[in-house]
Structure formats: structure tokens, C-alpha cells
Chains A and B, each alone.
Chain A
Amino acid sequence: MEVCNCIEPQWPADELLMKYQYISDFFIAVAYFSIPLELIYFVKKSAVFPYRWVLVQFGAFIVLCGATHLINLWTFTTHSRTVALVMTTAKVLTAVVSCATALMLVHIIPDLLSVKTRELFLKNKAAELDREMGLIRTQEETGRHVRMLTHEIRSTLDRHTILKTTLVELGRTLALEECALWMPTRTGLELQLSYTLRQQHPVEYTVPIQLPVINQVFGTSRAVKISPNSPVARLRPVSGKYLLGEVVAVRVPLLHLSNFQINDWPELSTKRYALMVLMLPSDSARQWHVHELELVEVVADQVAVALSHAAILEESMRARDLLMEQNVALDIARREAETAIRARNDFLAVMNHEMRTPMHAIIALSSLLQETELTPEQRLMVETVLKSSSLLATLMNDVLDLSRLEDGSLQLELGTFNLHTLFREVLNLIKPIAVVKKLPITLNLAPDLPEFVVGDEKRLMQIILNIVGNAVKFSKQGSITVTALVTKSDNRAPPDFFVVPTGSHFYLRVKVKDLGAGINPQDIPKLFTKFAQTQSLATRSSGGSGLGLAISKRFVNLMEGNIWIESDGVGKGCTAIFDVKLGISNESKQSGIPKVPANPQHANFAGLKVLVMDENGVSRMVTKGLLVHLGCEVTTVSSSEECLRVVSHEHKVVFMDVCMPGVENYQIAIRIHEKFTKRHQRPLLVALTGNTDKSTKEKCMSFGLDGVLLKPVSLDNMRNVLSDLLEHRVLYEAM
């Protein structure tokens, strides 16, 4: 703007121009002043503005420009020097600031531009992340679907449910149009359409298994995209759909029980696969994504596992059912067997009794008949009858014995007897027959053989008789030797039998040697089995049922012994040897009382704990002596209080003196009953009294006593009483 101090332009024509300039300058000034104000206002409002200094500069620049223009207003007319001065100052300042600002802007503008680019970049990034997150979310949802699917599949062990659920869930998760499962047929040559999701299909729709597309799918464990036109995928009615959706197929291994060996993950050498075909909806332009394929593969595996579990369960259920059936059958069989045994025992018992009675009659009467006057023919007939009936009686006894032996219900009847006499008796019995057959019999008894022994006399005789009888029966010539000795451990014995003589027992060995028919060594084991006979037809006439040796063996076993036969062969005779365990007795007379209390005769009294309650010292001592003599372990008490204190379940019998008049004595019986509530623990209560009339007996019974004895008791009486008592647990006749 030209400022001229000396010239006064006074052009009336230029006044309009001047006016416009004036006005413009004014407005410019106003604008220039308002811009910084706006700037300040808006910057103050915004929280972030890094370029304050620039703003100040810019503000200053604008203000000064505005000021310049403002001052210009005064220069249109003549103006003083101060105005010119101010003007100049303003202009100078403006120049300075503007230059500075210009310089500053050079630095700043690129920065500002780059901010903008960064902003754009970040926006793009955010959009990308959004997309990715969307993807992840989809994947996660898919994963959840898989888990749920798996859970559904594995929560049931029913084959059909598993497969159906698989298809349904897959269809839902992946939004499939169709989903199908092809299972191999029994022959393994075809795949049969077993399950579909939506459509009903014709039954027995099969495709051959050797199709290339199927082989391709079976060849890999991954899901394979196949053509929608392949036979396995042609399931939908082709109703003019424009674009068939993509199809994927995956193999599902069918594992057998046998694949699960220990330490052996099932190797897919099974070669049995099912085919799962999945189709996307048509006309949807959807494509199979990788994660969807992965999902399908995972599901296929899970299905395989679930199916195998179902198979295992089926198998185990089947096995268990079978086992239960077998158990039931076994139970029935056992019950039947028991019933049979019971029936047999009952039968035997009854028949035995029924048979014995007439038998005895026959034998007895025949014997009697024998004593009368008979013609020789009649005598012969009677003898035959007697012999036959004796034989029959023996047979019956044998059979009954054997069955009792087998049941284990037979018990030895122990007693003291003279061993030497026994042997002599046996020999006497056999001698007649031996003499007839001209077989000399010799008896050798060892010098250290005890005379009086404890054992089952009857059964031992039976054994010896049987063996010697056999020797006689099966010998045509030669002599028979019977040897009896006490066996020591260095004698020969069968290898699995060791003889251990204990203090009061010894092992008796009896050897019966004959020089008769002999036995084939191969037949020896059979000898002791029931009803097995090895003689030839010729010797069969000698009779016998073949039970003798079996029974003898059982008896020998009962006596804790062993029996065996040695033979050098047919025609060379044989030796029968048996060992049995017998007790030693010091008795010098037969069936006497044992003089050595340490070895009491009656096993049932040995150590029997009894309690004697008697106020009278003398009779107490006598009763105690009596019982001690019988082998009991006696505790004595002299009052009922003491009795109650001392009595325990170990005492088997309590003898209480009830001689004192009055009822008090009987109270002890009641108290003892109260003390022992269990019947088998309660000792037997016997009253010792001086009078045994009916009223006393009744009184005793009413107070719960098990027996009454008249004082003083003799030794024999006491012995009998104890036996009776222990056997029957009650005693009201021994007086």
C-alpha cells in the first residue's frame, strides 16, 4: 500500500474505490482478529494439541496482520506521523512473525500430513482385526460345536444313537444340506447307505466298495472333497438345482475288540471303514473351509472311538449275560446233585434198614436150622443159604459203609483192645478156608508190638480180614505170611508218606505176602477203585463185589495211614502192605479204666472243665477226686456267690449240691441261666442230692437244671452220667 506523506491525492473519482478499500480493510481486520479467537477457543476445548507454540505464533501473525489492516484504515486520509510510525512497527512485526511462521510451517505440515496417514493405517488395521476376530469367533463356535458333538456322541453307548446324533449335530453345526453314512455290508464288498439326515432313502441302497472315489477317501485320514456327482453323493433328488453344493467325504474306521491289545494303540490294519458324506447346501456359493474340514475329521475320529466303546460294551454285556446263564445252570446242576445225594442217602438209609431186617431174620433162622437134625442134602442146602445170605449181608454193609465213607460221615469208634488177640482171631477165621485150599498161613508178630492199643477194633479187623481174605482168595498154591510190626521211618514206604511216631501213638505195619496169582504192575492203581476187578473170568467165581479194597483203603486213610500193594508180576504173588496209626494203652486188662490219667480212655472227658459247688468240704473233696480221676479239670467252690463269680463259659458242667433244705440252692441255677444267655455257652447244671424222689426231680427241672444225681456217686455212675450228659445234654434217668 502506498503511503504518501507529501502528496494529497484528492480525487473525487477515486472516493468510491477508497470507500471499498476502507470497508474491505475493516472486514479483513475483523476476520483476522476473530480467527485466533476461534483457534484459541477450539484448542482450549480439545484436549490434545501438540503444537501450542505454533498456534501462538500463528495467532500472533494473524493478529499483527489484522492490526496492520486496521491501522491501514487510518492511512486513507491524512495521518500524523505517529500513525505512520505505528503502522510501520506493525508491519515490521508482522513481517517478522510471518516469516517465522512460514519457516515453522515447513516443519509442521509434513508432520500433520503423516498423522493423517497413520490414522488411515490404523483404521485399516482395526478393520482387519475385526475381520480376524470374526473368524476366530466362528472357529471357536465350531470348536464348541465339536465338543458338544463329541459329548453327545460319547454320552451314549448305543450304536444307533451315536451315529444318528453325529449326523444331526454335524448337520446343525455346519449347516449342511445332507449328511449320510455308508456302512460296509457283512460281506465287505459293498457300502450300504445306513443313515441319512434328512431324506428317506430306499432300503438296501448299496454301492460297490471298490469305486475309485471311495478308495481315495479310504486311503487318507483326511476329509476329501469329492464330486457331487459321484455315486455316494447322489442322494438328493436332482430337482433342477442350479449349482450343487460342495461335497466332502471322510472315512470312519470301524474298530474291533481285537484291535485293543494291551500297549497297542489300534492300528488301522483293520481295513474296515464306513464312509461319511457331507453336502453343503446347493445354490449357496458356500465353500468348505479348512477349519470345517478339520472339524469333520475330528468328529470322524470321535465317532470311531465311540463306536468301539459301544462294541466293547456290547461284548461285555453279552459275556456277562452268558456268565449269568451259566451260573444259573450251574446252580441248578448243583442243587440237583445235592438233591440226588440226599435222595441217595435217604434211600440207602431206608433200604439198608429195610434190607437188614429180613437179612438178619434169614441168617438167624438159617443158623438155628443148622442146629437141628437135617439130612445131608438138607444140611448142604441150609449151608448154602447161610453162606449166600452172609455174603449178601456183607455186601449190604460194604455198600453202606462205602457211601458213608465217601460222605465223610463215618467216624472211627475208638476203644482199647488186644492187638495180638485180634490177629489170632483173624487167622482163626481164615484158617478153615485156607486149610481147604491147602494154603498154610503163618503169623509173625514183632516182639515190640504193643499188646494193648487204642483204635477201631472192628474196622481194623475188617481191613486185615479183607486183605488176608484176598490173599487166600487169589492164591491157588503157596503159603501166606502175615507180618505185623511197629514201623520206623527207615522202612520202605511210598514216597509221599512220612511216618512220624508221636509219644502216645505208633504206626502198625501189616504185610500180607502170598505166592498166588500176582498182579500186573499196570493194574495196581486200579485195585483200590470201587467195583474194578482185574481177575480173569476163571477167578471171578470166587465172588466179591470189588469193594473190599476200596473200603479198606478208606478205613486205612481214616486211621491216618496208607495202603499199597507190591507185585513182581502175574504169577509171582503179591504183597499187600498197610500202615495205620494206633494209640498205645497201658491197660493190662481188656476194656478197663485207664490207670494213667494223662492218657484218659474217654476222649470226651479229657480236660473237660467242670465246676463243683458244695458246702460240705468232705463231699466236695470226694466229688472232685471222682471227676479228676475221670480226667476232668475241676474247680471247686463252696458257696453260690463264689460259684457265680467263678463260673464261665469254659466250664462245661456245674455240679451243685442242693442237699440243704430250702429253695435257696436252686436260685444259683436261675442266676446261671441269666448269666449265660446263649444256650451253647451255658454249662450243663447237675444237682447232687441225697434224695431223688419225684418232687426233687420236678423241682430241679423247674429251676432249669439239666440233671439230678444221687449222692454219693460211684465212679462208674459218674462216668456214665458224664457220657450221657455230654451226648444228650440232658439227664433225668440216671439215678
Chain B
Amino acid sequence: MDALVAQLQMQYRNYTVSLYQQGFLDDQFTELKKLQDDASPDFVAEVLSLFFEDCVKLIGNMARALDQTGTVDFSQVGASVHQLKGSSSSVGAKRVKGLCITFKEYCEANNYEGCVRCLQQVDIEFKALQTKLQDMFNLEKQIIQAGGKVPQVDIN
């Protein structure tokens, strides 16, 4: 059994490190993990699910705002982007945050095509992140089920 645990842990570790290396996650995610303890064991999961809900909602808002035939309310789009940027930086979703910054610039420049493009990218990005994180959580569950402890991954 221990061998399985060790293997799973190794797998988990590698996966996590890859996420960081690929730029999906940054230090803020590490901080987030630090906040998880016996008092709030599912803290990270809760925050992330909230984040993903937020993403869906905000992306929906932006899509609607950009879908207007006629004058597009760039300020509204900008507000949503700002929110998304805040959320993503709070959870450590590095790529999403980066996209939001670019997105914001396009909004301020009232660049319709740019905004639309960014929106698509954001959508793709956040879904990808969601998948990856889901995999990571699954690995964690497996480790716990196998009787082991989820290892603390030190990125630096």
C-alpha cells in the first residue's frame, strides 16, 4: 500500500509542479494552500469553485455586453474584466490574470475585435484551468483514499 501512496504522491507532486511551470498557477495559489488547515479542510476547493462560478458569470456578462448590435458599452465590459482580474489574482490563476490585463487595455482603447478575441481566450483558459485543477483534486482524493497524506509541494 505504501508503494501506491508513494507513487501517487510522486505523481501529484510532479503534476502540481508542472502546473506552476506552465504558468497556470502562481505563488498566490501556494498561499491559498497554506490557508487550508484542520479548521477549514476544503478551503481551497471552496475558493476555486467560487472562482469558477464567478468566471462563468462574468464571461456571460461580457459576452452579452459585446453582443450588442449597435453601441457597445465598453465601461460595462471593463468593469467585468476588472472583477475577473481581481478574482483570478486572488486565487493565483496566472494565465487568466494575464489575459485580463490585456483585455482591460483593449476595453480602454475601445477595441471591439481585441475584446472579443480576449474574451474567447479567457473562456478557453479558464476552462483549461478548471480541468487541470479538477485532475489535481482527483489525485489528492486518491492519495487520501490510499491512506496517505497529501504532500506539501514546495515550488521554489
A interface vs B, CB < 8 Å?
595-598, 615-619, 621-623, 625-626, 628-629, 657, 659-661, 690, 711-715
Q: Is residue B130 within 8 Å, beta carbon to beta carbon, of the partner chain?
A: no
A711 cross-chain contacts in B, Cβ below 8 A:
86, 89-90
Residues 90-106 (chain B) with a chain A CB within 8 angstroms: 90-92
Q: Are B47 and A712 in contact, CB atoms less than 8 angstroms apart?
A: no
A616 cross-chain contacts in B, Cβ below 8 A:
54, 83, 86-87, 90
Q: Are B31 and A618 in contact, CB atoms less than 8 angstroms apart?
A: no
Q: Are B86 and A628 in contact, CB atoms less than 8 angstroms apart?
A: no
Q: How far is the CA of A625 from the CA of B48 in the complex (A)?
A: 13
Residue of A nearest to B44 (CB): A625
Sample of 11 A–B contacts (CB below 8 Å) = A597-B37, A616-B86, A618-B47, A618-B50, A618-B54, A621-B90, A622-B91, A625-B35, A629-B34, A629-B40, A714-B28
Partner of B51 from the list A596, A618, A715 (CB cut-off 8 Å) is A618
B90 cross-chain contacts in A, Cβ below 8 A:
616, 618-619, 621-623, 711-712
Partner of B40 from the list A595, A625, A715 (CB cut-off 8 Å) is A625
Q: How far is the CA of A623 from the CA of B50 in the complex (A)?
A: 14
Residue of B nearest to A718 (CB): B31
From A621, A623, A657, A660, residue with most partner B Cβ within 10 Å: A621
Q: Are A626 and B35 in contact, CB atoms less than 8 angstroms apart?
A: yes
Residue of B nearest to A594 (CB): B37
Q: Is residue B3 within 8 Å, beta carbon to beta carbon, of the partner chain?
A: no
Residue of A nearest to B93 (CB): A618
Q: Are B82 and A659 in contact, CB atoms less than 8 angstroms apart?
A: yes
**5 extra A-B contacts, CB within 8 A, seeds A597-B37, A660-B82:** A618-B87, A618-B90, A629-B37, A712-B90, A714-B28
B interface vs A, CB < 8 Å?
27-28, 31-32, 34-35, 37-40, 43, 46-47, 50-51, 54, 82-83, 85-87, 89-92
CB within 8 Å for A617 and B50 given contacts A625-B43, A712-B92: yes
Q: How far is the CA of A209 from the CA of B85 in the complex (A)?
A: 116
Q: How far is the CA of A713 from the CA of B34 in the complex (A)?
A: 12
Interchain nearest-CB distance for B25 vs A (Å): 13
A596 cross-chain contacts in B, Cβ below 8 A:
38
A628 cross-chain contacts in B, Cβ below 8 A:
35, 39-40
Q: How far is the CA of A597 from the CA of B47 in the complex (A)?
A: 19
Q: How far is the CA of A422 from the CA of B38 in the complex (A)?
A: 30
Partner of B38 from the list A595, A621, A625, A690 (CB cut-off 8 Å) is A595
CB within 8 Å for A690 and B89 given contacts A621-B47, A625-B47, A659-B82: yes
Interchain nearest-CB distance for A617 vs B (Å): 6
Residue of A nearest to B33 (CB): A715
Q: How far is the CA of A714 from the CA of B156 in the complex (A)?
A: 15
B32 cross-chain contacts in A, Cβ below 8 A:
622, 625
A713 cross-chain contacts in B, Cβ below 8 A:
31
Residue of A nearest to B54 (CB): A618
Interchain nearest-CB distance for B103 vs A (Å): 15
CB within 8 Å for A715 and B37 given contacts A618-B51, A621-B50, A625-B47: no
Residue of A nearest to B32 (CB): A622
Partner of A715 from the list B34, B38, B87 (CB cut-off 8 Å) is B34
Interchain nearest-CB distance for B87 vs A (Å): 4
Q: Are B50 and A714 in contact, CB atoms less than 8 angstroms apart?
A: no
